[in-house]
Amino acid sequence: MIKYPTTFAELSKAIKHTTNPTITENLPAETVWVNTTTGEFFVCIDDTIDNNQWRGQLGTFITSSTLYTVDIFKDNSGLLLYQFDGNSQDAGGQYVGATTNITYENGKFGKCAVFNGSNSKIENLSFDINAYDAITFSFWMSTTTTSDSKMLGFSGSNDMAIETTDGTTCKVYFRSNLNSTDVSDFFINDGTWHHYAFVIDSNGTNHYKDGSSITTTGQVKSSVDKPFDIGEVGGGNYFNGKIDQVRIFNRALTDDEVGQLYNEK
């Protein structure tokens, strides 16, 4: 009998698959996988050896955690979730990122993506936000950079980026409707994990740090080109640091919802 994890921290360490196999699929010993739609975990808890194959009877473990659920508000607003648990696979299975010189190490939740500041990036050619009137970006970041860096955005003639000009000053801009305002002392470059969210609609961009709204600037949502990039946008200003739990939503989240993202576990 395999004693399966009893806490979420232990459970997350054991996760090997993030696809949604059927309940009858044979699994290796001590394997856990998750249904990314419902957030339901299935655990292989009783193993026997049969023809050198590990087989298991499946038990179901329900967790209140939203970490592995793309649509956490259950309103179809969740577009993608990059967890970076050893890969750049979107948790919903739709947007696999092409990686260049990315490594993975312990992050805010499980693993995170590590960017080297010179040539690391993740790129997805299909993800698009032009169909939506509002958008929310959310991610965790750890860095000590003091350089001009672009954390994520869209490349092309109509590019868009969330960037820092010096490690702490924040700038959000859309090239097709440039009305960006620098926000001083927004990012924290102390090498520890901090949560950032940007709610962008026709009223401007609301900047959130560690669960709290800091300020709203006049940059409104506008059209963008593809691809969607993380760690670099538009061929330069590579980010040096770590990023985890990148989420994008197709609407403007409320203060309470951003707070839920900051407090999820």
Tens of pLDDT, residues 136-174: 999 999 999 999 999 999 999 999 999 999 999 999 999
User: Residues 89-107: pLDDT tens digits?
Assistant: 999 889 999 999 999 999 9
Q: In the chain, where are the structural domains located?
A: 8-62, 78-263
Domain 78-263: give its CATH code. 2.60.120.200
Per-residue model confidence as pLDDT tens digits over 71-89: 999 999 999 999 999 999 9
- Give strand ranges (E) for the chain: 15-17, 32-35, 40-50, 53-62, 78-82, 98-100, 103-106, 111-116, 121-124, 135-142, 149-154, 160-164, 170-174, 194-201, 204-209, 212-217, 228-230, 240-249
Kindly report, residue by residue over 227-242, the tens digit of the pLDDT. 999 999 988 899 999 9
Give me the pLDDT at residue 38, please.
53
Residue 44 bridge partners (DSSP): 58
Q: Would the pTM count as exceeding 0.85?
A: no
